[in-house]
Amino acid sequence: MDDRPDPFRRLTPFEVALSAPVGTSEHALRATVVGSARAALERSVLPALRTGSCRVLFSGGRDSSLVLAVATAVARREGLPLPVPVTAVYPGMPEADESEWQARVLGHLRLTERIVIEVRAERSLLGDVSVGSLARRGLVWPAAVQSQPMLFDGLGHGVYVLTGEAGDGVLAPVRGTPLHLLASSRRRPSRALVRAAIGALEPSTLARWRLLHGDGLHDAAPWLRPRALRALVRESVEARGPLRWDAAKRALMERRGSVIALHNIVAGAAEQGVTLSHPLADESFVAALAADGGARGFRGRTDTFRRLGADLLPDDVLARSTKARFNSSRWGDRERDFAASWDGSGVDPELVDVERLRREWLGDALPSAQFLVHAAWLATAPRTTRTTA
């Protein structure tokens, strides 16, 4: 019997059906603000740089570009070895091609060393890497944790890796942003801005009613039974967060989904001897960013990037609006073949419509449907496969 503590934070059975954690965690953001958000971000990358073996997971997107740029600037200022970007590339998947943006950033930062990892079917939900990891670890959310080994196996034990994780939320506008944009606008506001401002003021009870009786949320998870859908609606409304920028940033880091995702990604890397750190989720950075923005915050994601890195990266990188898509690298024939022969095991039929979920899996499955394929695989895979994979 294995008495070692579980390194992962697990979902409840109800959360498994929803494919996501719900509610808030017991963790509270208590970091003391010392200086600006930029200064806090620079401090957050220093421990990894001081080891002399710092790597940065770098996709070419804005979040990882900012982390790489800050780490590079700090290394040069402190006389430390430069960080080495680690980039996954997806041959044959044009929607995931970020090569032009990667070259733009690396050229600007004058970085010549890079580790490139080619990804074909390795990161699929039921690919060999994911299935082997799933068999050893059991069900872990988010599902991408199971395919991490392919990124870290070649880096060696003892390396320190920085990521751009959490940037999508931490650097994003908050619920109250449209209100502040509307109040400060000197031009006639667009209809979209007016609608967003009205939506920001929508009471939670009305928001829940609208989501329950509209098509939007049901279309996002049509395989959920009414009880599960109601829980997903509650989570969606609660996750809107406070109107104030500073309160919203702190609240984001206290959501159970944020805490579990960030923890499990780190825990998965640690199993391979890699120390992983998320500078954009660093508590001191988030607290400083909350304080820098105060009640109103900034004008949007691009404005936030400019405030943090205008002296480090070209403006077209900071202001880009395009984003790569990786769905085809994670869902393909192997997953569809499994769906076709699946007997319905592994999901709660009182919460999930099995046949509707199967139909979703047989097509280009929505990301929100993909986690459940791991639960189904664990329930149906032969025990010998699960113990020897």
DSSP 8-state assignment for residue 112: -
Which token pair is 49? 């740089």
Q: Indicate the number of domains in the chain.
A: 1
**pLDDT band at residue 256, thresholds of 50, 70 and 90?**
very high
Predicted local confidence at residue 252, as pLDDT:
97
Q: pLDDT band for position 212 (50/70/90)?
A: confident
What the block records as the tokens of 226 is 């009414």
Distance separating alpha carbons of residues 249 and 351, to the nearest angstrom? 32
**How sure is the predictor about 367, in pLDDT bands with cuts at 50, 70 and 90?**
confident
Distance (Å, rounded) from C-alpha 47 to C-alpha 44?
Answer: 7
Query: Tokens for 216?
Result: 């939007």
Per-residue tokens: 39: 């200064």
Of the CA atoms within 13 Å of residue 84, those in its CB half-sphere come to 14
Domain residues for the domain of 343 are 1-389
Would the pLDDT of 216 be above 70?
no
d(CA 157, CA 155): 7
**Crossing angle of the two packed helices 191-200 and 177-184, in degrees rounded to 10:** 130
Which pLDDT score, from 0 to 100, does residue 386 have? 53
pLDDT of residue 388: 44
> What is the layout of strands, in order, in the sheet containing 160-162?
115-118, 84-89, 54-57, 160-162, 275-277
Q: Tell me the sheet residues that pair with 84.
A: 55
What DSSP string runs through 117-158? EE-SSTTSTTSHHHHHHHHHH-S-SSGGGGGTHHHHTTT-TT
For 378, other C-beta atoms within 10 Å of its C-beta total: 16
Q: Which range has the worst mean pLDDT, 36-45, 73-82, 114-123, 215-224?
A: 215-224
Stated pTM of the model: 0.94
Per-residue confidence (pLDDT) for residue 32, from 0 to 100: 84
Please, are residues 82 and 308 in contact by the beta-carbon 8 Å criterion? no
Q: Report the chain's terminal Cα–Cα distance, integer Å.
A: 19
Strand, coil or helix: 41: helix
Say yes or no to pLDDT of 309 above 60: yes
How large is the average pLDDT for residues 87-103? 91
State yes or no: pLDDT of 235 exceeds 60: yes
User: How does pLDDT run across 317-329, given as a tens digit for each residue?
Assistant: 999 998 888 777 7
Rounded Cα distance, 128 and 119, in Å: 13
pLDDT of 218 strictly over 80:
no
Name the one residue in this structure whose structure tokens are 């002296």: 311
Average pLDDT over residues 324-345: 89
What is d(CA 156, CA 162) in angstroms, rounded to the nearest whole number? 15
Averaged confidence pLDDT in the chain: 93
DSSP string, 304-347: HHHHHHTTTS-HHHHT-------HHHHSSHHHHHHHHH--STTS
When pLDDT is cut at 50, 70 and 90, the band that residue 389 belongs to is very low
pLDDT digits (tens, 9 = 90+) for 106-120: 999 999 999 999 988
